[in-house]
Amino acid sequence: MTALPLPSPRKLGLVIDLDTCVGCHACAVACKEWNEQGAFGPLPDQDPYGAEPLGVWFNRVHTYEVAAGNPLPPPTPARAIAPAASAAAAAPAQGMTVHFPRSCLHCEDAACVTVCPTGASYKRASDGIVLVDEDKCIGCKLCAWACPYGAREYSEVRGVMQKCTLCVDRIYNESLDPADRQPACVLACPTRARHFGDLGDPGSEVSRLVAAREGYAPLPELGYRPVNRYLPPRPRRDGAAAADPAAERFDASRLPPLLRWADRLLSR
Amino acid sequence: MTDKPLDLHRPTGDEVKTTTCYMCACRCGIRVHLRNGRVTYIDGNPAHPVNRGVICAKGSAGIEQHGSPARLRSPLLRVGERGAGEFKEIGWDEALALAARWLGDIRARNPDELAFFTGRDQSQALTGWWAQQFGTVNYAAHGGFCSVNMAAAGMYTLGSAFWEFGEPDWEHTRYLMLWGVAEDHDSNPIKLGLGRLKGRGAKVVAINPVRTGYAAIADEWIGIRPGTDGLLAGALVHELLHADRVDLDYLVRYSNAHWLVVDDLDGADDGLFARDAEGHPLCATREGIVRADLAGIAPRVVGEVTLADGRRAAPAFQRLAERFLDAAWSPDAVADRCGVAAGTIRRLARELAAAAFDDPIRLPVAWTDVHGRRHDEMVGRAVSMHAMRGISAHSNGFQTCRLLHVLQLLLGAIETPGSFRFQPPYPKGIPPHNRPGKSRQPNGALDAAPLGFPQSPDDLLVDADGRPRRIDKAFSWEYPLAVHGMLHTVVRNAHAGDPYRIDTLLMFMANMAWNSAMATGETMRMLTDRDPATGEYRIPRIIYSDAYASEMVAYADLVLPDTTYLERHDAISLLDRPISDADAAIDGIRRPVVAPDRDVRPFQDVLLDLGARLGLPGMVHDDGRPRFPGGFPQYMVEHQRAPGIGLLAGWRGADGAASGKGDPNPRQLAAYAGNGCFFRAEVPPAGRYFKMANRDYLGWAQSMGFVGGTQPQVLALYAEPLQRFRLAARGHGNRQPPDKDRARIAQHFDPLPDWQAPFEGAALQPGAYPLAAITQRPMFMYHAWGSQNRWLRQIAARNVLYIHPATAAAHSLADGDWAELRSHAGCILVPVRLHGAVEAGTVWTWNAIGKRRGTWGLHRDAPEGRRGFLLNHLISDLLPAGHAGDYANADPITGQAAWYDLRVALRRVEPPSGGDSLPQFAPLPVPRR
């Protein structure tokens, strides 16, 4: 019910490296802290010191255990990382623990926008960022139902839908040092697993990363064409394929092991 | 279509101040954004060398730690029974006068009746010095509970250690082994390093019973059984020796591998190094026996010799090789106990050797060694390792950690390009030269700081009969190398009056009534127990400082509320626990970015105030006036530990131009503030590797005041100081252990690394407690102090017991069931979850999420209190009855608390009716009025 803009050549988004994400939640808390005081905040908490602390988070980290031989779980479908080089990662031989940070993917065909009855949900024409205009939001939650990625966060306290803004109030913010004009989650990430840039520019660093590492968008079959990309875990060199080395034994009957060092000429 | 205009240029505030984070021990640089004097936002300081701009979940949540409702707001005096949490608020004048009266009486009577233990202390350069001036031997921080095995094994082997004193060569290493739980220290630098390693294609191997965190992104996870890491490391040594894949040239250049060890089983010199008349160590060469420390010789590493005086001796390496070549250390012999296939162990050994030797790293950097020889390049081994409490918190942790370092030494992978590297100011002696203070001077101060590094029985704190002189029994024959003290024995010993009664327990951020104690319930009982004869508390007085309403607050008689980290000065000092990296000496400060909004004071200021009221040496002028009326910031600038050496190394000298050594500079703190609150002195490029024997490094370190001279520091493949204790146990020398401790000392003070089964399991009836139980902290929390944070508790406000599906099935347990977990010491009732990424013989949970109801500013129905739980209730502070002797559940060398030795039995039970985990304790009242 809300129109998407014409596709813009500029598609700002995140590239998240599942190979180095250790699941530390630094991105999630940095995001909450920034947006709490930012132009799209606050991100209210309910019962913050009580029995069921709940709050609005634009970014949450999930952890999956993958049994040996099984594919990585949704929303990391094996098919999406099917390229031959990543087959090992798609179905790890030894079992894996995968951390999966989840936030808005700023889809090109964003169902959360088209479903919005008031025009509150919209996609920016200039850079593709999907935002919510809280003045127009009636809190009907249709967008949350429409989003297959669970990226929408309804604020009970404020009665509006909230979501990742790609830190639009940072990335253009002239009151910040130019080096700081990146999403808070990207700057915070301690393993530097998160990257920000223009995925519409094939020459950008993020696009080159996606190409080199076979980055994928989750659930592509749904057709919403997410801008964000995830880099699959690199194939693990876990030695599973290596032959079990036989015991390599010095023939002690011929020469006690110690003696081979007896005449070793060492220099100090 | 044009986009809706947005408010995109909103500033974070009107001011940004740098300081240093305190949300864990990482000590990252932060920028605190303020508007109208109120904190609006905290982010990482990109210029800071520790975190380079990144910030962890705890760091970002610091803003809510500052605003926490759990914060104390004024000094508190107990009015009810101890433990009931009933207090009245009092003013600082009254609080300090009271404390000064109590402490003054003690000092006049017997300073050792004050036990001063600081838990989460980042100011040991002050607190240790304060204890020394007070004159009590009874001082320590929390290291004995935390990771002293790692620190001590490192210091007695390398003069450095994992985490704070060394790091992997993140730039060059190609093979990293992470041993044990390692996620908590040192947080951001390791994460930054792992990201770099993975980006470069280095192989990361995680040896850990649980695959979470770093193990999740490792190339290979070795799900080892807890407490058997030493067996695995020993088997790797076995394989490397058999395959002759060891770096003998490295060993004779930098270690004592070739030093001759006397073989004289019944003699007083057995196992000591053979030395010449001047005390120089000796070695064998083709030309005969010569000084081992000479350059240009060709030492032998095997071959028995007869010394000039007729004694027999053999090189230390030979002793080591004889031990580990034995089939008892073969992969086949250890595989079952480790839970690691023999073939996997053999492959890992080959991978290590290949990474170390097949393609050595060559840096085109010329350097000069301590013998004056010029080298055109630096050649290194691209293998590095990191370990933390997973190795440390076992009763065999000291020797296991030493074995890890010996494994690295054999690979030539210490302080070379690609390997483990030292962080200045370390090494400062192997071990460092300072011994624990023992005697009081005429002014009442101890002759040295209470903690130090014993090198022989002469350095122990025992009386003429060999009985412990410290309340925690550190530096006694029971725990001779307890170099961090033993926080975990203080309450029991003080309660029992063993070895003597104390008057006052002064503690800072040590949550002894909860997660910082073993046997938590028993500890709470001892804190409140009265002597029926007198009606008085067995521990007469407890003074406690904390910023938050922790469980321990209720057990204090007098509470001295601390500020938050955004409201005070701190020194991150090179005299303490530095934040250096391998390329630079780094120190830093915290500074107040906001003023306290309540009646709280920085603990360091309070200590100096108390010291002045008590007239302690160094804290008053000759006429009795306070020496530091400006509090800790004045002390940070003006105090000199030795001429020219103070807490801070940067901008010294009257003009601020000196580094390391120089006169106090009244503008020093301003200089730090102007530089992101840190100081970084780069090691000269020619001094960045081989620091133990690098003239360029040692000359620089001497100029900085880190070392007294430029003599080489010899890495200890063979740890001779341990043998001195063993000889005493065998009846040599005029200081010998009591008979009850002889066999224990003789067995464990092995100068070569060894492995023993963890005490607890070995003392229990076989099969009675078939599972290991361990804890770890989630990366987004740290101790209890961060887990009440309103944002962090939304990530996890309850913990569960994780069980391998096969183990769960064997116990008829399904996901969501409840289980009774029983140890020899106690029993808890907990919810369980199935978890495939844990070694099947181990169960685990997150640490320190469970809280006592009514504490930490949380609602009484908060899940932390009702549902969360601690394993501490199962962990005894004493060894099971089946263990010979009356000893703490600790490493016999260092006294490290062995809380990872825990053995348990599991049984399915019906869910408790209220859904609360057990045990539960009476909710505490909020400590207000």
- pLDDT tens-place string over residues A159-169: 999 999 999 99
Residue A92 pLDDT: 59
CB A75 within 8 A of CB A218: yes
Beta bridge partners of A216: A230
Structure tokens at B17: 């101040």
Is B743 inside a domain boundary? yes
A237 touches chain B (CB under 8 A): yes
Asked whether the predicted pLDDT for residue B198 surpasses 70, the reply is yes
**Best mutation target, B34, B50, B217, B793, to test chain A (most A CBs within 10 A):** B217
Average pLDDT over chain A reads: 89
A46 touches chain B (CB under 8 A): no
Residue B848 pLDDT: 83
**Average pLDDT, stretch B514-529?**
96
Q: Between 3.40.50.300, 3.30.390.10, 3.90.1150.10, 3.30.70.20, what CATH number should domain A12-231 receive?
A: 3.30.70.20
Are B780 and A50 in contact (CB < 8 Å)? no
- Pairing relation of β-strands B38-44 and B29-35? antiparallel
Measured between beta carbons, the chain B residues lying within 8 angstroms of A191 are: 191-192, 194-195, 198, 217
Q: Which of A57, A169, A258 sits opposite B8 (nearest CB)?
A: A169
Are A29 and B792 in contact (CB < 8 Å)? yes
Q: What radius of gyration, in Å, describes the C-alpha atoms of chain A?
A: 24
Measured CA to CA, the distance from residue B34 to residue B488 in angstroms comes to 41
Are A22 and B191 in contact (CB < 8 Å)? yes
Asked whether the predicted pLDDT for residue B726 surpasses 90, the reply is yes
Phi, psi dihedral angles at B229 (to 5 degrees): -60, -35
Q: Which of A6-10, A130-134, A152-156, A241-245 has the lowest mean pLDDT?
A: A241-245
Measured CA to CA, the distance from residue B702 to residue B713 in angstroms comes to 13
Asked whether the predicted pLDDT for residue A78 surpasses 60, the reply is no
Domain identity same for B722 and B783: no
Residue A253 pLDDT: 58
Residue B787 pLDDT: 84
Asked whether the predicted pLDDT for residue B926 surpasses 80, the reply is no
Measured between beta carbons, the chain B residues lying within 8 angstroms of A190 are: 51, 54-56, 187-188, 191-192, 195
Is B768 inside a domain boundary? yes
Q: Which of B59, B213, B252 sits opposite A268 (nearest CB)?
A: B252
H or E element, residue B263: strand B260-263
A106–chain B nearest CA distance, Å:
15
Q: pLDDT of B96-130, one tens digit each? A: 999 999 999 999 999 999 999 998 878 999 999 99
Measured between beta carbons, the chain A residues lying within 8 angstroms of B51 are: 190
Measured CA to CA, the distance from residue A96 to residue B218 in angstroms comes to 10
Is B901 inside a domain boundary? yes
CB within 8 Å of B110: residues ≥ 6 apart: none
CB B417 within 8 A of CB B361: yes
Residue A263 pLDDT: 84
Domain identity same for B826 and B772: yes
A260 touches chain B (CB under 8 A): yes
**Best mutation target, A4, A24, A175, to test chain B (most B CBs within 10 A):** A24
Q: What is the CATH number of the domain that holds B358?
A: 3.40.228.10
Residue B861 pLDDT: 94
Are A24 and B242 in contact (CB < 8 Å)? no
Residue A249 pLDDT: 55
Residue A246 pLDDT: 61
User: Residue B189: helix, strand or coil by DSSP?
Assistant: helix
What's the domain range around B235? 161-422+715-748
Residue A245 pLDDT: 62
Asked whether the predicted pLDDT for residue B327 surpasses 80, the reply is yes
- Pairing relation of β-strands B827-834 and B818-822? antiparallel
Beta bridge partners of A162: A153
Measured between beta carbons, the chain B residues lying within 8 angstroms of A47 are: 859
| End-to-end CA, chain B | 61
Q: What is the 3-state secondary structure (H, E, C) of B787-804?
A: CCCCCHHHHCCCCCEEEC
Quote helix, strand, coil % in chain A, to nearest 5. 25, 15, 60
Measured between beta carbons, the chain A residues lying within 8 angstroms of B316 are: none
Q: pLDDT of B803-842, one tens digit each? A: 999 999 999 999 999 999 999 999 999 999 999 999 999 9
**Best mutation target, B1, B33, B39, B370, to test chain A (most A CBs within 10 A):** B1
Q: What radius of gyration, in Å, describes the C-alpha atoms of chain B?
A: 27
Structure-model confidence comparison of residues A183 and A262, the more confident one: A183
Q: pLDDT of B355-383, one tens digit each? A: 999 999 999 999 999 999 999 999 999 99
Domain identity same for B884 and B740: no
Quick one: pLDDT band at residue B61, thresholds 50, 70, 90? very high
Domain identity same for B306 and B340: yes
Are A33 and B61 in contact (CB < 8 Å)? yes
Are A238 and B219 in contact (CB < 8 Å)? yes
Residues in chain B: 929
Peptide bond into B427 cis (omega under 30): yes
Sign, CA torsion B230/B236/B240/B246: negative
From residue B827, alpha-carbon distances to B761, B824, B832 in Å are 17, 8, 15
**Best mutation target, B794, B853, B864, to test chain A (most A CBs within 10 A):** B794
Is B527 inside a domain boundary? no
Is B475 inside a domain boundary? no
CB B348 within 8 A of CB B179: no
CB within 8 Å of A177: residues ≥ 6 apart: none
Q: What chain B residue is nearest to A232 in terms of C-alpha separation?
A: B217
A152 touches chain B (CB under 8 A): no
Residue A238 pLDDT: 81
User: Residue B705: helix, strand or coil by DSSP?
Assistant: coil
Domain identity same for B857 and B744: no
Helices (H), ranges, B615-718: 632-638, 668-673, 695-704
Peptide bond into B299 cis (omega under 30): no
Q: What chain A residue is nearest to B4 in terms of C-alpha separation?
A: A124
Peptide bond into B666 cis (omega under 30): no
**Best mutation target, A12, A45, A49, to test chain B (most B CBs within 10 A):** A49
Residue A87 pLDDT: 42
**Best mutation target, B10, B38, B60, B251, to test chain A (most A CBs within 10 A):** B60
Measured CA to CA, the distance from residue B31 to residue B18 in angstroms comes to 4
Residue B728 pLDDT: 98
Are A175 and B779 in contact (CB < 8 Å)? no
Nearest to B666 by CA among B642, B646, B686, B696: B646
**Average pLDDT, stretch B503-523?**
95
Q: pLDDT of B65-97, one tens digit each? A: 999 999 999 999 999 999 999 999 999 999 999
Measured CA to CA, the distance from residue B345 to residue B243 in angstroms comes to 13
Is B917 inside a domain boundary? no
Peptide bond into B431 cis (omega under 30): yes
Buried b (16+ CB within 10 A) or exposed e, B71-96: bbebbbebeeebbebbbebbebeebb
- Listed by number, the residues of chain A in 55-84 with a beta carbon closer than 8 Å to a beta carbon of chain B are 55, 57, 63, 65, 67
Structure tokens at B268: 């007083």
Asked whether the predicted pLDDT for residue A248 surpasses 60, the reply is no
- Listed by number, the residues of chain A in 189-218 with a beta carbon closer than 8 Å to a beta carbon of chain B are 189-193
pTM: 0.97
A149–chain B nearest CA distance, Å:
19
Residue A82 pLDDT: 36
From residue B578, alpha-carbon distances to A229, B122, B507, B658, B861 in Å are 39, 10, 23, 19, 41
From residue B597, alpha-carbon distances to A37, B95, B550 in Å are 21, 19, 20
**Average pLDDT, stretch B588-611?**
98
Are A97 and B9 in contact (CB < 8 Å)? no
Asked whether the predicted pLDDT for residue A77 surpasses 50, the reply is no
Measured CA to CA, the distance from residue B505 to residue A148 in angstroms comes to 58
Quick one: pLDDT band at residue A256, thresholds 50, 70, 90? confident
Domain ranges of chain A: 12-231
Are B192 and A190 in contact (CB < 8 Å)? yes
Q: Which of A184, A236, A244 sits opposite B220 (nearest CB)?
A: A236
Q: pLDDT of B335-359, one tens digit each? A: 999 999 999 999 999 999 999 999 9
Structure tokens at A229: 């990309």
From residue B504, alpha-carbon distances to B77, B102, B114, B245 in Å are 15, 8, 5, 56
Q: Which of B6, B213, B321 sits opposite A22 (nearest CB)?
A: B213
A268 touches chain B (CB under 8 A): yes
Q: What is the CATH number of the domain that holds B774?
A: 2.40.40.20
Are B216 and A23 in contact (CB < 8 Å)? yes
Residue B186 pLDDT: 84
Place of tokens 């066999």: B743
**Average pLDDT, stretch B145-169?**
95
A83–chain B nearest CA distance, Å:
20
Average pLDDT over chain B reads: 96
Are B43 and A188 in contact (CB < 8 Å)? yes
Domain identity same for B262 and B333: yes
A5 touches chain B (CB under 8 A): yes
Q: Which of B4, B53, B296 sits opposite A133 (nearest CB)?
A: B4
**Average pLDDT, stretch B228-248?**
97
Measured CA to CA, the distance from residue B638 to residue B646 in angstroms comes to 7
CB A218 within 8 A of CB A80: yes
Number of domains in chain B: 2
Measured between beta carbons, the chain B residues lying within 8 angstroms of A6 are: 1
**Average pLDDT, stretch B594-614?**
98
Long-range Cβ contact pairs of B87-91 (< 8 A, separation 24 or more)? B87/B559, B87/B927, B87/B929, B88/B929, B89/B599, B89/B928, B89/B929, B91/B599
Domain identity same for B731 and B814: no
**Average pLDDT, stretch B678-697?**
98
Q: pLDDT of A93-129, one tens digit each? A: 678 899 999 999 999 999 999 999 999 999 999 999 9
**Average pLDDT, stretch B568-596?**
97
Domain identity same for B271 and B398: yes
Residue A243 pLDDT: 60
Measured between beta carbons, the chain A residues lying within 8 angstroms of B344 are: 239, 244
